[in-house]
Structure 1
Amino acid sequence: MPRSIPQGPSRRLLLAGALAAVSAAVTGCSSDSEASSSGGSKRLRIGYFAFPSGDLIVKNRKLLEKALPDYKITWIKFDSGASVNQAFLGKSLDIAALGSSPFARGISGSSPIPYKVAFILDVAGENEALVARKGAGISDVAGLKGKTVATPFASTSHYSLLAALEGAGLKPSDVKLVDLQPQAIIAAWQRKDIDAAYVWLPTLDELRESGTQLTSSKEIGAGGKPTLDLAVVSDELIAKDPKAIDTWRKVEAEALELLKSDPDGAVEAVAAELSISKADAKAQLAQGVFLTPDEVASADWLGTDGSPGKLLTYVSDTARFLADQKQIDAAPSEDAVRKAFYLKGLPDVLK
């Protein structure tokens, strides 16, 4: 809902709605999940985004199902990190894709969400960007003053938008920020209800057709505020089934390898999952930054067991920025961020 409206549903009602949607998704995908769980078969509930990444290759090629044939695996699609956070609060997920900004939010506060980052899916590049509608009279970020700008709140795009505004000498109050999910952004754009939007693929490409790109997450990252698509696992799964986490990380690493060793196959899988042409899938994949498994577990990124990488600094910096922007009450300590990393087995489990 727009930030300018102080009244609205309580967090409890929002959470209930989100959990109801998650429950419906799980039921729709697997009506016998409860029965199989009670019958002794283990299950994994995995949250994902319809976003070009190795995650979609794992899903499309059923890499995890083949590696864990005795498990009941359910894939649940989400539109934003905020809803993923709500689902983890309701214990409706075991593993999920999650942006670095909503992750920083999730581990902040007196009651952090019980999950930990265990993998890096990709680094945001040109696949997230700020686009102004042609005809709105906006040629640069500074030109957004007094304009209506949409983004999914509590997302990496929201974080990058705030960073872009700050870089242009604007405060969030200098623009009218509107909280919209990707599909709602398209509708608002077509009605000319909004002047600009910061969002990710594939919605982003639709906006580019009738808009002007002002900046991207690649540029903002180069300026010191990178964002990433992470993968998190619940504390409960870590305690109960760490071997399943190792297997999941191994197939995610395989997908990263396939992006480079079999680009045509990767394109085909992503095109099938997003119901787009191979040409579009290829173009969208080209806009992301995908690490190799060795890079994921390197000191430059996630790190290894006992030695967190630079992601620790990136998440800490993100949380401090969000606190400075009054998006969260206070940033977590570095020790709290460190405890939100699950690095056991790295780098060996990726081989």
Structure 2
Amino acid sequence: MKRSIIFFVLIALLLSACSSSTAAPAAAEAAAIDAPVTTLRVAQQFGLGYAALTIADELNLFEKYLPGLQVEWLQLGSGGAINEAFIAGEVDVAVMGIPPFLIGWDKGIPWRVASGMCVMPLSLQTYKDNINSLADFGPDDKIAYPAPGSIQHILLSMAAERQLGSPTALDDIGVAMAHPDAAAALMNQKDISGHFTSPPYNFQELSQAGIHTVVDGTEAFGTEFTFLVAVASEELYENNPQAYSAFVMGIAEASDYINQHPQEAAAILAPSFGLDEETTLKYLTWPGMNYVTTPLGLMGFSDFMQNAGYIEKVPETVSEIAFPNVVAAIGQQSGTSGELETLQFRPE
């Protein structure tokens, strides 16, 4: 699915950013050059879902849109850790799954979605021949995911509700592990029986004989959904719109670069994942991989999580949890919902 509506994002940003849309191009460029040096603190986790951040960093795309910008990187193991970093005032923007973002929003963290990042195949793998459905996991089995409330955990809960009748049916056998550690444990058949993970870890697991998928994310959610979103603090958006715009436009250009130039992107990304370029290219072009900046599933995750007891409140509209450039990209069709509006919800 190719719905990377970059032009809509750019137009919305240009309309709402610090420089006036009526200013002469030369004046706008001079203003950007004269902008004070700003530090942007960015948090990320592990996996191919964060590839656009790596591309933006390597090609200096954030600095392209705000000369003099200083970017500080923080790598954390879960969305929960990112929530804590935001609460502590240590992060301005972060890339994370929709569920941990919603948990933070529910708790009052002043942030909203600034951009979608990617649609990717997520899946639960096991090496046990006798496990072919969620009902086959027993009390002595362990299923690893990054943390309670992670997108992998919530997708597992969705699948458990469909297959077992309760979203919390497998919570007692869930264990929190960073993806690299869990992938190594699964492939070595140690400590865990299953791993709900994302690219490249599920691709690596499935390349090993005897490992198979029990359930995938699309099956659990019911349709395509955004794996990761970029979130930004209200403070950054209100007080430093230049840095906010530079970040969002840098992500948009990096996403387009991956989609349009996968071979070149693979060469840039391979060292970050400890892979050769051929394998990285294979993973970037794996069926279902799409670096798309318009998020899907925002309302579907929130509705499920409230019903399952993971959050207390849900947004009435997307604008409560997303900044204006995202709301503009999704759109609002009069009379009936447009396609992107409909894709914010789970199918009934």
- What TM bracket, shorter-length normalisation? 0.7 to 0.9
Structure 2 partner of 1:235: 234
Matched letter for residue 141 of structure 1: L
Please, which of 180, 185, 205 is the counterpart of residue 183 of structure 1?
Answer: 180
Higher RCO (Cα < 8 Å, 6 or more apart): 2
Structure 2 partner of 1:138: 131
Structure 2 partner of 1:118: 114
CA separation in 2, counterparts of 1:173 and 1:316? 23
Structure 1 partner of 2:212: 212
State the identity %: 23
Which is richer in strand? Answer: 1
Please, which of 68, 77, 91 is the counterpart of residue 79 of structure 1?
Answer: 77
Structure 2 partner of 1:262: 261
SS in 1 for 2:267: helix
Structure 2 partner of 1:339: 320
What's the C-alpha RMSD, in Å, of the aligned pairs? Answer: 2.5
Matched letter for residue 142 of structure 2: T
Structure 1 contact 225–318 (Cα < 8 Å) conserved: no
Structure 1 contact 145–170 (Cα < 8 Å) conserved: no
Structure 1 partner of 2:250: 251
Structure 1 contact 64–251 (Cα < 8 Å) conserved: yes
Give 1:188 shift.
4.1
Per-residue CA shift, 1:156-214, capped at 9, x if unaligned?
Answer: 11111111112212533356222222233235433532211211223323432252111
Structure 2 partner of 1:65: 63
Pairing 1:103–2:85 present:
no
Please, which of 147, 164, 175 is the counterpart of residue 169 of structure 1?
Answer: 164
Structure 1 contact 97–232 (Cα < 8 Å) conserved: yes
CA separation in 2, counterparts of 1:240 and 1:225? 35
SS in 1 for 2:313: coil
CA separation in 1, counterparts of 2:81 and 2:71? 20
Please, which of 145, 156, 161 is the counterpart of residue 151 of structure 1?
Answer: 145
CA separation in 1, counterparts of 2:136 and 2:128? 13
Structure 1 contact 267–278 (Cα < 8 Å) conserved: yes
Structure 2 partner of 1:196: 194
Give 1:244 shift.
1.6
With the length of structure 2 as denominator, give the TM-score of the two structures: 0.74
CA separation in 1, counterparts of 2:174 and 2:46? 24
Structure 2 contact 255–292 (Cα < 8 Å) conserved: yes
Structure 1 contact 117–233 (Cα < 8 Å) conserved: yes
Matched letter for residue 126 of structure 2: A
CA separation in 2, counterparts of 1:232 and 1:292? 15
Structure 1 partner of 2:277: 278
Alignment map for 1:309-348 (pairs within 5 Å): 311=296, 314-328=297-311, 330-335=312-317, 338-344=319-325
Structure 2 contact 127–211 (Cα < 8 Å) conserved: yes
Structure 1 contact 101–227 (Cα < 8 Å) conserved: no
Structure 2 contact 98–228 (Cα < 8 Å) conserved: yes
Matched letter for residue 183 of structure 1: P
CA spacing shift, 1:247–1:227, aligned 2, 3 Å: closer
CA separation in 2, counterparts of 1:269 and 1:322? 37
Q: Which runs of 5+ in 1 are unaligned?
A: 1-39, 302-310
Per-residue CA shift, 1:81-111, capped at 9, x if unaligned?
Answer: 11111111111111111111111111114xx
CA separation in 2, counterparts of 1:342 and 1:268? 33
Alignment map for 1:42-57 (pairs within 5 Å): 42-52=38-48, 53-57=51-55
CA spacing shift, 1:68–1:193, aligned 2, 3 Å: same
Matched letter for residue 192 of structure 2: I
Matched letter for residue 124 of structure 2: L
Matched letter for residue 164 of structure 1: A
Aligned residues: 284
